[in-house]
Amino acid sequence: MEAVTWIVLVVDATLRVSTPLILAAFAGMFAERSGVVDIGLEGKMLGAAFAAAAAAYVTGSAWVGLLAGIGTSVALAMVHAFACVTHRGDHVVSGMALNILVAGLGPVLSLAWFGQGGHTPLVADDARFRPIHFPFADRLSDVPFLAQIYSEIASGHNLIVYIALGMVPLAAWFIYKTRFGLRLRAVGEAPEAVDTAGISVAGMRYRAMIVCGILCGVAGTSLSIAQNALFVRDMTAGMGYLALAALIFGKWRPVPTLFACFLFAFADAVQARLQGVDVPGVGIIPVQAIQALPYLLTVLLLAGFVGKAIPPKASGVPYVKER
Amino acid sequence: MKRVIVAALAAVGIAVASMTQVQAEDFTPAVVFDMGGKFDKSFNEAAFNGAERFKADTGVQYRDFEVTNPSMREQALRNMARRGAQVVVAMGFAQAAAVETVAQEFPETKFTLIDMVVDLPNVQSVIFKEHEGSFLVGMAAAMASETGKVGFVGGMDIPLIRKFALGYVEGAQHVNPDIEIFQNMTGTTPAAWNDPTKGGELARSQFDRGADVVYAAAGGTGIGVYQAAKDAGKLAIGVDSNQNYIHPGTMLTSMIKRVDVAVYESFSAAQDGTWQGGIQVLGLAEDGVGWALDEHNRSLVSDEMEGAIEQARQDIIAGTIQVTDYMAQ
């Protein structure tokens, strides 16, 4: 019974922690599948987190916050696309530049607007995405197993968690079963073929970056006004890079990427619960060792099980029509 | 003739005014904040409040700098000293190495280091008995807990934070020897002082296991812990500054560390010329640490709790209760 409860709670935490990771990883998938390398996921999330917190605080509405977050993130994505697609700049340089820009701009703007240093004021409860409780969840929580799954795992998350989980099959369907998806994949593998077919390569890549911006915007919003109630400096804490790792881990495919995100989040949830616990036969594991767990897991799996990860052929290569 | 006198008086007036201004300008204190940033609502913000109060009381402007990555500490301290600051307050244990280097380069400049000891004639080291204050809030946690389980979320895993944790554990066990205490550290790098998402997640993991009061000693990360407690309807305990106002109704109390007083005292002693190097240890007896009781948490603290905690405070000062100092072990 104890063990079941433990597992249920860890799965619950995994879902919560993985949400921004899944959204960002899928944002990266759209970008990279179209041939745009995007290490600016971190910056877009951070920008969205700031905009969402600021807008939600000022207007008192979580939805306005979400829109502001998405808007900011899409705008940043467009800058990236302008530099990389239109002007054929280096993708890594542009992405990194945006990351650095946002890392500085967020705190500076919050200082200028709210006068509280590197963070926004606390956002009121009704201006946040609060946990949604399914009907009867409270009453069922004592009934073992199935009811526990319903009341603990399925119920009680904020809206964005459900949005992220719903987005996954939608994105997979989009990429593999629609005309847009086919062209998206083609433009990342063989842009000249797409061009020959009379479809604008730049147009496809811009559209992909808009989708990327929207998803990053939702991810950033979930950090600042769903999981927290304010924006603080560097609050993404490397999550954008972790999402990129999950994407590579998942070989740029939706389902493996989803599981890579779950794996990272699961390792994180487990390490929070293993700290200071007396593991039978081992004793108390030092904090440092436990906190290295997610990274250790990544290295082991990447080296041992995943095999070669091959990116879309044209990713990071600017498309030149004629030479 | 009258005109000449007026002109002369005016000249004297200007001279006097400019002289006082020169004096005021002559004395420039400085403070270098650490990674949490000066608005972390906690440790660094307490120093900021102390410096601001000094500015309001004396009209003396101070210089400040917020360190945003570890390599900036030494540069920041050196810049302050080079630009003529007489006294530089360095916030946080992590600046010890930087203070040691820079204090030797500028033997005329006075350095006040908070939370760590550097043994140099021009360095004043101010350390606090956090374990004593944490003992009191540990008692409060144990008395307020209905499940008999309480939690602790630390920032970076360093001996100083373990010192908070141990005091808290002893305080909780003083009230209820069978109490179960969960401890989590946010990370092992300075980024752990500013990660509210992770802090909130750690707090939730403790609530999942049954804790209903959680104490955060984690700088800016604590904001996430208090938010998680509020969202879950549990109680949280603040640290360093009085943080009861952040979420009135779910902040049980705060462990106050009078960093503001230390900064203020350092500035004004340097101005008076009474500043002295050496080590200052501030505990309950010196009012250097304590627990916060104000209008925001009055309804959460029963008279019985207040009495017991005050009694323990007296006993610790008198020496009848001994709190273990993790760093002295």
Question: What CATH number is given to the structural domain containing A97?
Answer: 1.10.3470
Q: Which residues contact B154 (CB under 8 A, 6 or more apart)?
A: B161, B162, B164, B165, B183, B184, B185, B186, B216, B217, B218
The gap from C-alpha B261 to its chain's centroid, in whole angstroms, comes to 9
Does the predicted TM-score (pTM) go above 0.80?
yes
Q: Could you tell me if residue A173 is inside a domain?
A: yes
Q: Could you tell me if residue B160 is inside a domain?
A: yes
Question: How many other C-beta atoms can be found within 10 angstroms of the C-beta atom of residue A275?
Answer: 21
pLDDT in the model for residue B193:
87
Parallel, antiparallel or unpaired: strands B278-282 and A131-132:
unpaired
CA distance A69 to A65: 6
Helix axes A254-274, B196-208, angle to 10 degrees: 70
Q: Could you tell me if residue B287 is inside a domain?
A: no
Does the beta-carbon distance from B185 to A230 stay under 8 Å?
A: no
CA distance A307 to chain B (A): 31
Question: How many other C-beta atoms can be found within 10 angstroms of the C-beta atom of residue B129?
Answer: 22
B147 in the same domain as B234: yes
Does the beta-carbon distance from B38 to A230 stay under 8 Å?
A: no
Q: Could you tell me if residue A321 is inside a domain?
A: no
Q: Could you tell me if residue B288 is inside a domain?
A: no
Q: Which residues contact B248 (CB under 8 A, 6 or more apart)?
A: B296, B297
CA distance B241 to chain A (A): 16
User: Best mutation site among B231, B241, B250, B251 for testing chain A: the one with the most A CBs within 10 Å?
Assistant: B231
Alpha helices per DSSP H over B145-258: 159-175, 196-208, 222-232
Q: Quote the domain boundaries for residue A299.
A: 2-304
Q: What is the CATH number of the domain that holds B78?
A: 3.40.50.2300
> Which residues of A touch chain B, with CB atoms under 8 Å apart?
9, 12-13, 16-17, 116-119, 122, 130-131, 223, 227-230, 232-235, 237, 268-269, 272-273, 275-276, 287-288, 291
B121 in the same domain as B135: no
Q: Could you tell me if residue A318 is inside a domain?
A: no
Does the beta-carbon distance from A117 to B220 stay under 8 Å?
A: no
pLDDT digits (tens, 9 = 90+) for A196-238: 999 999 999 999 999 999 999 999 999 999 999 999 888 888 8
* Domains identified in chain A, total number: 1
Note every long-range contact of B53-60, with CB atoms under 8 Å and residues 24 or more positions apart, other chains counting.
B53/B260, B53/B264, B54/B29, B54/B263, B54/B264, B54/B267, B54/B268, B58/B268, B58/B271, B59/B24, B60/B24, B60/B27, B60/B28, B60/B29, B60/B267, B60/B271
Does the beta-carbon distance from A229 to B227 stay under 8 Å?
A: yes
CA distance B265 to B171: 30
Chain B residues inside the 8 Å CB shell of A230: 196, 223
CA distance B159 to B326: 7
Question: Which residue of B lies nearest to A2 if distances are taken between CA atoms?
Answer: B209
CA distance A295 to A19: 19
Chain B residues inside the 8 Å CB shell of A237: 191, 195, 197-198
Q: Provide the 3-class DSSP secondary structure of residue B179.
A: coil
Of residues B2, B185, B13, the one with CA closest to residue A286: B185
B207 in the same domain as B120: no
DSSP string, A55-77: HHHHH--HHHHHHHHHHHHHHHH
Q: Provide the 3-class DSSP secondary structure of residue A43.
A: helix
Chain A residues inside the 8 Å CB shell of B226: none
DSSP string, A171-210: HHHHHHHSHHHHHHHHHHH-HHHHHHTT--HHHHHHHHHH
Does the beta-carbon distance from B201 to A17 stay under 8 Å?
A: yes
Of the candidates B183, B196, B231, the beta carbon closest to that of A232 is on B196
**Length of chain A (residues):** 323
Does the beta-carbon distance from A230 to B195 stay under 8 Å?
A: no
Does the beta-carbon distance from A13 to B183 stay under 8 Å?
A: no
* Domains identified in chain B, total number: 2
CA distance B171 to B168: 5
Q: Could you tell me if residue A166 is inside a domain?
A: yes
Question: Which residue of A lies nearest to B48 if distances are taken between CA atoms?
Answer: A117
Q: Which residues contact B250 (CB under 8 A, 6 or more apart)?
A: B226, B229, B230, B233, B234, B235, B236
Of residues B6, B15, B304, the one with CA closest to residue B142: B304
Q: Which residues contact B13 (CB under 8 A, 6 or more apart)?
A: none
B10 in the same domain as B26: yes
Chain B residues inside the 8 Å CB shell of A126: none
Helix axes B159-175, B130-144, angle to 10 degrees: 40
- In the Cβ-directed half-sphere of A227, how many Cα atoms lie within 13 Å? 33
B124 in the same domain as B268: yes
CA distance A254 to chain B (A): 26
Is the predicted pLDDT of residue A65 greater than 60, yes or no?
yes
User: Best mutation site among A4, A10, A119 for testing chain B: the one with the most B CBs within 10 Å?
Assistant: A119
Virtual torsion, Cα A20, A24, A27, A29, nearest 10 deg: -120
ipTM for the predicted complex comes to 0.85
Q: Which residues contact B220 (CB under 8 A, 6 or more apart)?
A: A119, A232, B36, B37, B40, B41, B42, B193, B194, B195, B196
- Report residue B48 as tokens: 């900021």
B35 in the same domain as B58: yes
B179 in the same domain as B145: yes
CA distance A273 to chain B (A): 7
From A35-44, A136-145, A201-210, B54-63, the region with the lowest mean pLDDT: A136-145
Does the beta-carbon distance from A16 to B224 stay under 8 Å?
A: no
Strand order of the sheet with strand B180-187? B180-187, B149-156, B213-217, B235-240, B251-257, B289-291
CA distance B184 to chain A (A): 6
Helix axes A41-59, A239-249, angle to 10 degrees: 130
Q: Could you tell me if residue A276 is inside a domain?
A: yes
Q: Provide the 3-class DSSP secondary structure of residue B156.
A: strand
Does the beta-carbon distance from A275 to B204 stay under 8 Å?
A: no
Phi, then psi, of B110 in degrees rounded to 5: -95, 135
Of the candidates B185, B220, B227, the beta carbon closest to that of A287 is on B185
pLDDT band at A184 (very low <50, low <70, confident <90, very high): very high
User: Residue A179: is it exposed, middle or buried by C-beta count within 10 angstroms (0-12/13-18/19+)?
Assistant: exposed
Count interface pairs A-B at CB distance under 8 A: 77
Over the range B302-329, which residues count as b (16 or more CB within 10 Å of their CB) and which as e? eeebeebbeebbeebeeeebebeebeee
B140 in the same domain as B124: no
B42 in the same domain as B188: no
Q: Could you tell me if residue B35 is inside a domain?
A: yes
Q: Could you tell me if residue B289 is inside a domain?
A: no
Virtual torsion, Cα A189, A192, A197, A200, nearest 10 deg: 90
Parallel, antiparallel or unpaired: strands A283-284 and A278-279:
antiparallel
Does the beta-carbon distance from B196 to A268 stay under 8 Å?
A: no
pLDDT in the model for residue A269:
86
User: Residue A165: is it exposed, middle or buried by C-beta count within 10 angstroms (0-12/13-18/19+)?
Assistant: middle
Q: Quote the domain boundaries for residue B307.
A: 130-257+297-328
Question: Which residue of B lies nearest to A126 if distances are taken between CA atoms?
Answer: B231
Residue pair B235/B251 in contact by the 8 Å Cβ criterion: yes
From A43-47, A66-70, A311-315, B77-81, the region with the lowest mean pLDDT: A311-315
pLDDT per position in chain B (329 positions), as tens? Answer: 566 666 665 555 555 544 444 444 578 999 999 887 788 888 898 999 999 999 999 999 999 998 878 888 999 999 999 998 999 999 999 999 999 999 999 999 999 999 999 999 999 999 999 999 999 999 999 999 999 999 999 999 999 999 999 999 999 999 999 999 999 999 888 888 888 999 999 999 999 889 999 999 998 899 999 999 999 999 999 998 899 999 999 999 999 999 999 999 999 999 999 999 999 999 999 889 999 999 999 999 999 999 999 999 999 999 999 999 988 87
B241 in the same domain as B207: yes
Q: Could you tell me if residue B80 is inside a domain?
A: yes
Q: Could you tell me if residue A313 is inside a domain?
A: no
